[in-house]
A = this chain, B = another copy of it.
């Protein structure tokens, strides 16, 4: 009962997982086939299923591992470390503009890209992805609520709308990065997006005529 018994694994599990991350990041959940995975990971299907379960479980582990990586966790870190909500969201947008187009890895955010995928047949995976999306919005909302209670935002600020707004912008930045937007363009988008901060759902700029 000392060392583990049986034939030892013949490949580096972490390296194989890294290859899976890269592949899922680039091509999404359903866009990546098991045979592509086994080829990229350098193993045979039997080994994949023995080491990771099935494709769904592997994807879940990929998302989890990515979320703990420096690139994947930058939002959570900003929300936790910045003293003000304004500082946190400004930093998130600024860093997203740096990270998303970085050629060192596939463009955009793995989580957002995977979660944005609308072609998912598998109902369980679809629910999983929807949870990923809404979890992000929920975290934003919570941070904004704290800002309201702390007095940084007016007590009647619409945290729902602000959270939805930032989620939308960030997701859009990820997609724009995938479509080839440069770091400079994304930085500008980030700067403009923070312009909404001064509004907080208070100002009413309805104008331009009553079409519809």
User: Which A residues form the contact surface with B (CB < 8 A)?
Assistant: 27-31, 78, 81-82, 84, 86-87, 90-91, 94-95, 98, 113-114, 116-121, 130, 133-134, 158, 160-162, 164-165, 167-173, 175-176, 178-179, 181, 185-186, 188-189, 191-199, 201, 203-209, 211-212
Contacts and interface: CB of A to CB of B under 8 A. Distances in A.
B179 A133 contact: yes
17 contacts: A31-B121, A82-B211, A87-B208, A90-B206, A91-B211, A116-B116, A160-B188, A161-B189, A162-B192, A164-B189, A168-B171, A168-B176, A170-B172, A171-B171, A171-B175, A191-B203, A194-B205
Copies in the complex: 2
Contact of A209 (B87, B118, B161): B87
Contact of A27 (B78, B119, B164): B119
Q: Please give me the 9 A-B residue pairs with the lowest Cβ-Cβ distance, nearest first.
A: A168-B172, A161-B188, A87-B208, A31-B119, A28-B118, A192-B196, A30-B119, A28-B119, A195-B196
Given A28-B118, A168-B176, A195-B197, 13 more contacts: A29-B119, A30-B119, A90-B205, A90-B206, A116-B118, A117-B119, A119-B119, A134-B179, A161-B185, A168-B172, A171-B175, A192-B201, A195-B205
B172 A98 contact: no
